[in-house]
């Protein structure tokens, strides 16, 4: 929606910072719309995301810093060259596009809503957009069931212990989040030290009766592998954070076994080859070790 509206309003050059999927998405939509695109990303952004942006024709640059540094470069370039800044919450239509997650969820549930939503939270636009969508659906009277009587999903903002500014602010009872000193996580989409919409994320979480919770960074790869193998769905490390948080929430009684819970998978596992590194056993055709095969298959 953001690119469609930008094109309608005469934008010819799009620019964005990214640490994950947003750069490739903007590059693809910009190419389709006949717009030029500039993408700045941290140097350790997953390689697939780097190559994807370039593949779609974007002028892509690696930066020796974090996504906030990339955002500063976009802002400076916008002043110098007239680029249009597509950074999170710097224009209105990207948020409106994110609302579709909430709208489609309501439609698929017969216009009722789940009890809880666990959402991987970096910039948090998806969480903010869904909360906005639920409020608008209630206002126009489209909700059914318990949602029509005022119940909304508890929104859980899920972060990693390697980068958890929203969680820290929630725990302190604050509305704005301070950047952590050394943000590091394999879930690149969660490595957002300072979210522009931090106060909107925290407002939505609190208004919903939900929480901001941290996953254990050391368990992300484990959850990514376990969930993918159990469900046959490529789970990204950001969503792995939600699963770790959900497990603890259920154990603590925060989420009841009979509640309807939705976990959003915000990325494809194959984009995170760095997080999927695993040595495969090798077979020598000249001396096949069937005992090794049998042990591996058990």
Residues 113 and 199 in one domain: yes
Residue 298 included in any domain: no
Residues 193 and 121 in one domain: yes
Residues 113 and 6 in one domain: no
Q: By the 8 A CB rule, do 204 and 166 touch?
A: no
Residue 295 included in any domain: no
Task: Taking residues 211-222, report their average pLDDT.
Answer: 97
Residue 66 pLDDT > 80: yes
Residues 151 and 77 in one domain: no
Residue 291 included in any domain: no
Residue 278 included in any domain: no
Distance of CA 117 to the CA centre of its chain: 13
Residues 74 and 145 in one domain: no
Q: Which of 85, 120, 149 is the last residue of a domain?
A: 85
The alpha-helical segments, DSSP class H, found in 9-61 are: 21-33, 47-55
By residue count, the chain amounts to 298
Residues 174 and 152 in one domain: yes
> How many other CB atoms are there within 10 angstroms of residue 149's CB atom?
8
Residue 17: beta bridge partners?
40
Residues 106 and 245 in one domain: yes
Residue 296 pLDDT > 90: no
Residues 16 and 48 in one domain: yes
Distance of CA 150 to the CA centre of its chain: 27
Q: Which of 85, 118, 150 is the last residue of a domain?
A: 85
Q: Which of 85, 105, 130 is the last residue of a domain?
A: 85
Residues 108 and 65 in one domain: no
Residue 188 included in any domain: yes
Phi, psi of 155 (to 5 degrees): -95, 125
Residues 141 and 248 in one domain: yes
Digit-coded pLDDT (tens) for 72-106: 999 999 999 999 999 999 999 999 999 999 999 99
Residue 293 included in any domain: no
Task: Taking residues 51-76, report their average pLDDT.
Answer: 96
> How many other CB atoms are there within 10 angstroms of residue 199's CB atom?
14
Residue 296 included in any domain: no
Residues 6 and 80 in one domain: yes
Digit-coded pLDDT (tens) for 119-178: 999 999 999 999 999 999 999 999 999 999 999 999 999 999 999 999 999 999 999 999
Q: How many folded domains does the chain comprise?
A: 2
pTM exceeds 0.75: yes
Distance of CA 110 to the CA centre of its chain: 25
Q: Which structural domain, as residue segments, surrounds residue 155? A: 96-271
Residue 274: what pLDDT? 84
- The tokens for 34 are 């006949």
CATH number of the domain that 64 lies in?
Answer: 3.40.50.1100
Residues 45 and 79 in one domain: yes
Separation between Cα atoms, residue 77 and residue 81, nearest integer Å: 6
Residue 263 included in any domain: yes
Enumerate residues 6+ apart whose C-beta is below 8 A from 242.
118, 119, 120, 156, 158, 215, 263, 264
Residue 278 pLDDT > 80: no
């Amino acid at each position: 929606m953001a690119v469609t509206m930008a094109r309608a309003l005469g934008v010819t050059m799009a620019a964005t910072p990214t640490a994950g999927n947003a750069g490739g998405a903007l590059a693809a939509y910009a190419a389709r719309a006949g717009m030029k695109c500039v993408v700045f990303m941290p140097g350790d952004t997953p390689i697939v995301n780097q190559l994807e942006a370039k593949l779609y024709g974007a002028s892509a640059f690696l930066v020796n810093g974090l996504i906030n540094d990339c955002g500063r470069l976009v802002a400076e370039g916008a002043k110098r060259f007239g680029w249009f800044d597509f950074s999170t919450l710097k224009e209105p239509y990207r948020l409106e596009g994110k609302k579709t997650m909430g709208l489609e969820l309501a439609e698929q549930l017969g216009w009722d809503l789940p009890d809880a939503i666990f959402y991987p939270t970096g910039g948090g636009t998806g969480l903010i957009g869904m909360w906005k969508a639920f409020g608008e659906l209630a206002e126009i009277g489209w909700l059914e069931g318990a949602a029509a009587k005022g119940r909304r999903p508890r929104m859980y903002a899920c972060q990693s212990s390697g980068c958890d500014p929203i969680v820290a602010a929630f725990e302190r009872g604050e509305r704005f989040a301070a950047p952590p000193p050394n943000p590091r996580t394999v879930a690149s989409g969660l490595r957002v030290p300072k979210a522009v919409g931090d106060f909107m994320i925290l407002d939505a979480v609190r208004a919903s009766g939900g929480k901001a919770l941290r996953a254990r960074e050391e368990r992300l790869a484990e959850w990514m592998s376990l969930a993918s193998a159990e469900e046959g769905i490529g789970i990204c490390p950001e969503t792995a954070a939600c699963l770790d948080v959900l497990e603890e929430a259920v154990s603590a009684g925060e989420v009841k076994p009979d509640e309807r819970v939705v976990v959003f998978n915000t990325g494809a596992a194959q984009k995170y080859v760095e997080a999927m590194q695993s040595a495969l056993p090798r077979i020598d055709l000249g001396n096949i070790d069937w005992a090794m095969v049998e042990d591996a298959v058990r």
